[in-house]
């Protein structure tokens, strides 16, 4: 019998938000929940025990990167990702669709999937940038994507069926249909073309997955696209939610992917979740800033993943606190013998001072990145866990207002 199911425990009045439980073969996920990203079968600089101690319930790994190195068949032979990386709780793998974006139209341009209108470095073109002549590592066709490895330049071709086959070998509890994540700078014409491809690839992913024995132990989520366009977003939500195999089987849940404008991210999520069936879980791909997590939860998102907490920690020394971001490289922290946050229960704050962490970063010691990552993941994981508690208590709106008033001051 299949071991995947989703149940709703309590809803936020007058909103789409809810607290629930996703059951998988490797345990339950209490939702809403934040999913740390372990791109190459590791959350950088951290062990599985560290992740468990800071409150992580589930981890996401990257299909594209693991396909190239060490190879999905090797991981299959090792017993799957759970055994390979010693993580025995629930796990997700993405489809590789985001790499279609990052290795294609966004390659070398510094464009992210969330557009910040105030950023002067990003110029929105008057036409699609799909044929601008800039070299890229991925080329999109209607049947799939050809790309050159960023490791050694070797040529590869990924179809929806190939993406699902790789994810079957990796063995995560929750996997995603192959999709095309478009740039937020693309025009309406290209967004329509990409959406048609995503829907075609979704149907092929669903048909292939449901025809294999792995469908009895791995849940497949269909991915909603449509860029920043309300009509396309709603069309995608309706199309993916109504999609069936010839035998009438459907997606086990949904991923909300693609590109957003920072200012309309929350509206885009609401457009989609007002249409998607309530009884299935929803995962917002690649979003993890505190203010966005609150809006996502309120608008019906159950899972979030994002590299920001660990990337910001290890690359810039940027730490989350209830009073906003802290940059540990600022001169004032060199002789500050307080913890990052006095009431924080993470390993860093219970054992070390701001001065010590500042020393580690200034002297480029590896431990600094690990400790900062522990703090940021603890902060975000427990922030979302507290949102869940407040939903169950019936005080989510008050908690949201209090937290953001302090965090954004």
Give tens-digit pLDDT for 64-95.
Answer: 999 999 999 999 999 999 999 999 999 999 98
H, E, C per residue of 40-57: CCCCCCCCHHHHHHCCCC
Among positive and negative, which fits the CA dihedral 127, 128, 129, 132? negative
The tens digit of pLDDT for each residue in 142-180 reads: 999 888 888 898 899 999 999 999 999 999 999 999 999
User: Is the pLDDT confidence value at 18 over 90?
Assistant: yes
Is 94 part of the annotated catalytic residue set?
A: yes
Mean pLDDT of 122-127: 42
Of 72, 252, 292, 305, the active-site residue reads 305
Tokens linked to 304: 């979030």
Residue 123 confidence (pLDDT)? 44
User: Is the pLDDT confidence value at 137 over 90?
Assistant: no
Confidence of residue 1 (pLDDT cuts 50, 70, 90): very low
Spatial CA neighbour of 389 closest among 379, 400, 376: 400
Query: Mean pLDDT lowest for which of 116-130, 229-243, 290-304?
Result: 116-130
Residue 383 confidence (pLDDT)? 98
Q: What is the CATH superfamily name and number for domain 5-96+160-306? A: Queuine tRNA-ribosyltransferase-like (3.20.20.105)
Is 173 part of the annotated catalytic residue set?
A: no
Of 72, 94, 173, 292, the active-site residue reads 94
User: Is the pLDDT confidence value at 3 over 80?
Assistant: yes
Mean pLDDT of 27-37: 98
Q: Where are the domains of the chain?
A: 5-96+160-306, 315-407
Does the bond joining 70 to the residue before it have cis omega, within 30 degrees of 0? yes
Confidence of residue 103 (pLDDT cuts 50, 70, 90): low
Spatial CA neighbour of 272 closest among 239, 240, 243, 233: 233
Q: What percent of the chain has pLDDT over 90?
A: 79
Mean pLDDT of 15-40: 97
> CB of 372 within 8 A of CB of 313?
yes
* Rounded-to-5 percentages of helix, strand, coil across the chain: 40, 15, 45
Residue 233 main-chain phi, psi, to 5 deg = -60, -45
Mean pLDDT of 184-209: 93
Residue 98 confidence (pLDDT)? 67
Q: For the whole model, what pTM was predicted? A: 0.91
């Amino acid at each position: 019998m299949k071991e995947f199911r989703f149940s709703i425990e309590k809803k936020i009045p007058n909103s789409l938000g809810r607290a629930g439980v996703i059951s998988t073969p490797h345990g339950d996920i209490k939702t809403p929940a934040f999913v740390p990203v372990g791109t190459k079968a590791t959350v950088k600089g951290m062990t599985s025990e560290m992740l468990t101690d800071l409150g992580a319930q589930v981890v996401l790994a990257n299909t594209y990167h693991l396909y190239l190195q060490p190879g999905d068949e090797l991981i299959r032979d090792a017993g799957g990702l759970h055994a390979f990386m010693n993580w025995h709780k629930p796990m997700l793998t993405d489809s590789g669709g985001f790499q279609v974006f990052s290795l294609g139209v966004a390659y070398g341009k510094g464009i992210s999937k969330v557009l910040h209108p105030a950023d002067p470095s990003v110029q929105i073109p008057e036409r699609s940038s799909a044929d601008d002549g800039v070299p890229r590592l991925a080329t999109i066709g209607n049947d799939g994507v050809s790309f050159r490895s960023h490791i050694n330049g070797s040529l590869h071709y990924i179809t929806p069926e190939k993406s699902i086959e790789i994810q079957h070998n990796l063995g995560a509890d929750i996997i995603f249909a192959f999709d095309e994540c478009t740039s937020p700078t693309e025009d309406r014409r290209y967004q329509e073309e990409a959406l048609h491809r995503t829907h075609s690839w979704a149907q092929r992913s669903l048909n292939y997955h449901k025809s294999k024995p792995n469908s009895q132990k791995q849940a497949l989520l269909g991915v909603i696209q449509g860029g920043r366009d309300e009509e396309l977003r709603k069309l995608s939500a309706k199309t993916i939610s109504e999609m069936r195999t010839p035998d009438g089987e459907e997606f086990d849940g949904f991923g909300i992917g693609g590109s957003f404008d920072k200012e309309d991210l929350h509206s885009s999520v609401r457009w989609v979740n007002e249409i998607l069936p309530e009884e299935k879980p929803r995962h917002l791909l690649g979003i993890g800033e505190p203010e966005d997590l609150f809006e996502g939860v309120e608008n019906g998102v159950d899972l979030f993943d994002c590299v920001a907490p660990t990337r910001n920690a290890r690359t810039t020394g940027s730490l989350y606190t209830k009073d906003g971001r802290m940059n540990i490289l600022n001169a004032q922290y060199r002789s500050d013998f307080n913890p990052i946050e006095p009431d924080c229960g993470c390993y860093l704050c219970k054992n070390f001072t701001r001065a010590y962490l500042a020393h580690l970063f200034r002297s480029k010691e590896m431990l600094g990145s690990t400790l900062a990552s522990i703090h940021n993941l603890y902060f975000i994981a427990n922030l979302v866990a507290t949102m869940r508690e407040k939903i169950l208590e019936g005080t989510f709106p008050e908690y949201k207002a209090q937290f953001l008033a302090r965090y954004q001051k």
